[in-house]
């Protein structure tokens, strides 16, 4: 039914490619391409052994738009799933426009030299996609991604008006290292060490990094310290959820992670500008990435669960209502199925489902879209089928799950 080109061969790509192969009635041809072809070949071997499906592999530099256009033409792909880094979003979007195919990613564009996370430059390509008659689906991971779909589902099915949203991201996994990141260390540390920000009564309120913390009781996990961060799905949800008065994002961190991060920041290891070291130019955060464990290597060591969800409060039929929609994902089960831990799993599965929505035309359009722009129901149904089942708890309006 669809010919898909997946770019990037890290943990997220591994999960998404395994899931696409498991849905080979939809994805009749899969090509996995990345900077390091041997990583694609290793994933292809895993899929052949475990799923019994053969996929093609290729070498590609995703920063080179013309090379990507050429690869799209030689593979005949109709959908490009970008699971490389956020730095590649714009070049890959341009390649899709030039080749006239649909584009999907999981993270908004970041400039390598500027700590800025925003959709502006991607939304600006709306006209280009419209003119080419194809679509771009932005942020089809978990957060952004499933969290947007939870909010859309609530808006379309559970509420007449939504006023408050708290997005709560808990990783209670233990990999046994004093310090390591669960996805690309450079992207993770840039996000976490930036100032916090939330939206209230029509304006953004900035906080110092990790300034606001509360203890939240996560279903099936327990109580965890949860810190307010800026996260990209808030930018589109603020635009698309009508009646919204406040939206915040919280993520859990253990003491060891925070102590290491503060220390690394204090000594300049999180700097993203070049410094001179004995005549060689290095970017400290990139050097640090080279020293830290590869997130892919955490898979076999990580035990425990993740819980990511949204607490949504508003009105239905004139009565106040509050619900908590969430998924719990197990690191060891994720690894057993795909060879990657739950942070990659919770991102890679929705990436595959986003591609399914586009391939089956359940979600279609011309231009650039965020996840909440479409009917949430088919995506929610697919989450249950593809390994990320969700639950809804009805809460008392205003009730804090806090302790
Ligand atoms: P990894 O760093 O493990 O993998 C990235 C892959 O992209 C690597 O295989 C890398 O190649 C490849 N790559 C990087 N630059 C290029 C390039 N110029 N050309 C071709 N390939 C390139 O990252 P993850 O798998 O952890 O994350 C993938 C994406 O998912 C990221 O954008 C991340 O921000 C996003 N993400 C989204 C989440 C969500 O919930 N929405 C959560 C977690 C991650 P090489 O192997 O040679 O380095």
How would you write the chain as a 3-class SS string? CEEEEEECCCHHHHHHHHHHHHCCCCEEEEEEEECCHHHHHHHHHHHHHHCCCCCEEEECCCCCHHHHHHHHHHHCCCEEEECCCHHHHHHHHHHHHHHCCEEEECCCCECCCCCCECCHHHHCCHHHHHHHCCEEEECCECCCEHHHHHHHHHHHHHCCEEEEEEEEEEECCECCCCCCCCCCHHHHHHHHHCCEEEEECCEEEEECCCCCEEEEEECCCEEEEEEEECCCHHHHHHHHCCCCCEEEEEEECCHHHHHHHHHHHHCCCCCCCCEEECCEEECHHHHHHHHCCCHHHHHHHCECEEEEEEEEEEEECCEEEEEEEEEEEEHHHHHHHHCCCHHHHHHHHHHHHHHHHHHCCCCCCCEEEEHHHCCHHHHHHHHHHHCCCEEEEEECCCCCCEC
Taking the centre of ligand 1 as the mean of its atom positions, its distance from the CA of residue 105, in whole angstroms, is: 11
Low-confidence ranges of the chain (pLDDT < 50): none
C-beta of 117 in contact with ligand 1 (< 6 A): no
pLDDT number for residue 183:
80
**Closest residue CA from atom 46 of ligand 1:** 36
What superfamily would CATH give domain 146-340? Dihydrodipicolinate Reductase; domain 2 (3.30.360.10)
Per-residue confidence (pLDDT) for residue 226, from 0 to 100: 95
Query: What distance in angstroms lies between residue 34's CA and the mean position of ligand 1's atoms?
Result: 9
pLDDT at 379: 98
Question: Is pTM, for the whole model, over 0.85?
Answer: yes
Minimum-distance ligand 1 atom for the alpha carbon of 296: 3
Q: For position 403, what pLDDT does the model report?
A: 54
At 130-142, the pLDDT tens digits run 999 999 999 999 9
Q: Is 354 in the pocket of ligand 1 (CB under 6 A)?
A: no
Ligand 1 close to Cβ of residue 142 (< 6 A) = yes
Q: Whose CA is nearest to atom 14 of ligand 1?
A: 84
84 CA closest ligand 1 atom index? 7
User: Is the C-beta atom of 299 inside 6 A of ligand 1?
Assistant: no
For residue 11 and ligand 1, the question of a CB distance below 6 A is answered with yes
Domain ranges within the chain, ordered by starting residue: 2-137, 146-340
Does the beta carbon of 107 lie inside 6 Å of ligand 1?
Answer: yes
Our answer on whether the CB atom of 235 is closer than 6 Å to any ligand 1 atom is no
Rounded to the nearest whole angstrom, what is the distance from the C-alpha of residue 343 to the centroid of ligand 1? Answer: 13
Q: In this predicted structure, what is the pLDDT of residue 184?
A: 82
CATH for 2-137 is 3.40.50.720
């Amino acid at each position: 039914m669809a010919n898909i080109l997946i770019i990037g061969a890290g943990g997220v790509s591994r999960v998404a490619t395994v899931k696409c192969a498991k849905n080979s009635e939809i994805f009749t041809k899969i090509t996995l391409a990345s900077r390091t072809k041997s990583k694609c070949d290793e994933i292809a071997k895993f899929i052949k052994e475990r799923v019994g499906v053969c996929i093609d592999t290729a070498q590609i530099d995703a920063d080179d738009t013309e090379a990507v256009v050429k690869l799209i033409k030689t593979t005949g792909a109709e959908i490009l799933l970008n699971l490389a880094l956020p730095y590649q979003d714009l070049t890959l979007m341009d390649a899709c426009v030039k080749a006239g195919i649909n584009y999907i990613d999981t993270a908004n564009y970041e400039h390598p030299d500027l700590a800025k996370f925003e959709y502006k430059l991607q939304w600006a390509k709306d006209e280009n996609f419209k003119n080419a008659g194809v679509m771009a689906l932005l942020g089809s991971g978990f957060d952004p991604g499933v969290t947007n779909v939870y909010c859309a589902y609530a808006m379309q099915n559970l509420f007449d008006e939504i006023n408050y949203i708290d997005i709560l991201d808990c990783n209670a996994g233990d990999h046994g290292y004093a310090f390591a990141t669960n996805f690309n260390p450079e992207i993770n540390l840039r996000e976490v060490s930036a100032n916090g920000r939330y939206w209230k009564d029509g304006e953004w309120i900035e906080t110092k990094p990790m300034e606001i913390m509360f203890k939240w009781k996560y279903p099936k996990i327990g109580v965890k310290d949860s810190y307010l961060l800026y996260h990209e799905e808030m930018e589109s949800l603020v635009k698309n959820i009508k009646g919204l008065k406040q939206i915040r994002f919280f993520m859990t961190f253990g003491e060891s992670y925070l102590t290491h991060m503060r220390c690394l920041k204090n000594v300049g290891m999180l700097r993203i500008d070049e410094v001179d070291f004995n005549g060689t130019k290095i970017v400290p955060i990139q050097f640090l990435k080279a020293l830290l464990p590869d997130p892919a290597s955490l898979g076999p060591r990580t035990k425990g669960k993740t819980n990511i969800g949204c607490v949504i409060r508003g009105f239905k039929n004139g009565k106040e209502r509050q619900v908590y929609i969430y998924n719990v994902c197990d690191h060891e089960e994720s690894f057993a199925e795909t060879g990657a831990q739950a942070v990659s799993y919770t991102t890679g599965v929705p990436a595959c489902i986003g591609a399914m929505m586009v391939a089956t035309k359940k979600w279609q359009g011309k231009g650039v879209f965020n996840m909440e722009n479409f009917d949430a129901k088919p995506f929610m149904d697919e989450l249950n089928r593809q390994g990320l089942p969700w639950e809804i708890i009805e809460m008392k309006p205003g009730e804090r799950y806090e302790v």
